[in-house]
Every structure is written in C-alpha cells, then in structure tokens.
Amino acid sequence: MPASAREKQPARVLAVSNQKGGVGKTTTAINLGTALAAIGERVLIVDMDPQGNASTGLGVPRETRRVTIYDVVVDHRSIDDAAVQTTVPGLWIVPADADMSGVEIELSQADRRSYRLRDALRAHDDGPTAYDYVLIDCPPSLNLLTLNAMAAADAVLVPLQCEFFALEGLSQLMRTIDMVKHSLNPTLEIQGLVLTMFDRRSALSGQVANDVRAHFGDKVYDSVIPRNVRVAEAPSFGKPALIYDLKCAGSQAYLRLAREVVKRERRRLALAA
C-alpha cells in the first residue's frame, strides 16, 4: 500500500493464530512481517505469547525489553512506548515477557479487559507513526491474551501444519472465532490459511493440503511454506529467515506469501470502495 493510501487507512490488524502448538505460528508472524517490510510495508508485530519467542527471534533479548505488551495491556502504556525498531527496516515489535502469564489474574475484575489491546491500537491509529499491517502472534491456547488479540483484529491468519491432526486443531479455532464474533468482535473474519511445514516428498502433506483446499477454497493461500532447515535455524541467531538466508526456499515462500497478502488486501479495499 503506498504511503498516500496509508494516511487514509488504519492499519490492517491480523491475529496469527492456531490453538494447536508447533504449527509455525511464530515463525510465520516473524517471517511474514519481515517479508511485508521487505516489499515496502510498515509492519508492527505484537508478541502476545508469554514465551516471547517472536521477540527473541527478531533479536530483542529479554534484558532489553523495558516496556512490553504487559505494560500496554495492564498499565495502559502506549504502543509507541513499547514498540522496538528491529534490525529490519520498516519492522517494529512490541515484545512480550513472562509477566504476561499473570495477565489473566491481574485483569480478572478490570473494565474492558478483553479490549485492552484494541483500545491501545486504536489510540495509536491517531498517532504520528502509522503502520500498514499489525501482526499479533497469539498464544497457542484460548485465554484472555488470545481474546484480546481477536477482539483487536480485523481478521485471523491461520498457519496450518500439513500433518494428520491439523484439521482437528482447525475446527477448534473456528469455534473460537465464532464465539469471538458473537461476543466481542462481530466483524472478525478469516484472512486466510497458510499451509506450513509442507514436505513434497510426503503423500500425507499433499493429502492434507488437498483436504484443506477442498474445505476452505480460496481462503487458502496459493503460497505454501515448505519444511526448511534454514528457517528452523534462523531464530537461534536472533534473525528472521529472510535475513539469515534470503535465497533459501522458506524465505522465498514467505516473500511470495507477503505479495499474496498485499494483493488480496488491495482487492478487498477495491471491493469495499
């Protein structure tokens, strides 16, 4: 989206979510965010997972996380206070830390407890620093943090591992999205499903991909993220895969996905106009 359009449009907020762990959720948030920044978008990643893996994977060590998403959600600190510029131009992150585990108890009696993140992001839309995309890395479970993410999001982006139990986790997520639509955020939609850890040598990967496409149609992105050693190695160096090894198959797949996300977004805006 060009800068002129950005001035008129609030950020598109996407919750990267799957209630099943180990599906490439954080990897997708990090690398899709990096790929979007690489093609000229301004991107904020919000790390809502108490493990803080997205923060670590983008090279933000725990000892430097002075203001985190905990301070935003619990103490009403601003997004600008918490956002850290990463080494990737055009990419910022609001880091998480272990304090997030206590949010459920801290906010048990609080007003608008499910809308804390939404309120902070909306206040930021009126501020001086504008983003094109906000990607929220959700915890792999249904709790107050996930509800905050979905209440704040325009849509949910679902990474889906190409393995036998993938569809089971997906049906659970669909029930959660329906619940959020009825109670917290009636306009929430599914942005798309991303097939991850695809192994073209495995008949099972192909079968899962075919089943998902048969069920969800064009909601499934054409871009497929392959199982890739370089993508798996990158977080231990505190780098997105695109910085660690731009030419590897995984990095190239995330670049294709970013272009596809932007293309779909432009189409959505054109239809809404």
Domain boundaries, the chain: 3-272
**pLDDT tens digits, 46-68:** 999 888 899 999 988 887 888 99
Please name the residue that has the structure tokens 């231990």. 236
Helix (H, G, I), strand (E, B) or coil at 196: strand
Identify the pLDDT of residue 106: 83
So what's the pLDDT on residue 94? 95
pLDDT of residue 6 exceeding 50: no
Predicted confidence at residue 3, as pLDDT, reads 45
Residues 6+ apart with CB under 8 A from 205: 162, 163, 197, 198, 199
This prediction's pTM? 0.90
Q: How confident is the model at residue 1, as a pLDDT?
A: 45
Please give the average per-residue pLDDT across 245-264, as a whole number. Answer: 92
**68-87 mean pLDDT:** 92
Please check the confidence at residue 99 and state whether its pLDDT lies above 50.
Answer: yes
The model's confidence at residue 8, banded by pLDDT at 50, 70 and 90, is: low
User: Tell me, what's the pLDDT at 95?
Assistant: 94
Q: Residue 121: its pLDDT value, please?
A: 92
State the average pLDDT over residues 179-199: 90
Lowest mean pLDDT of 35-39, 128-132, 182-186, name the range.
128-132
Q: What burial letters (b/e) apply to 69-79, b meaning 16+ CB within 10 Å?
A: bbbbbbeebeb
Q: Which CATH superfamily is domain 3-272 in?
A: P-loop containing nucleotide triphosphate hydrolases (3.40.50.300)
d(CA 94, CA 62): 12
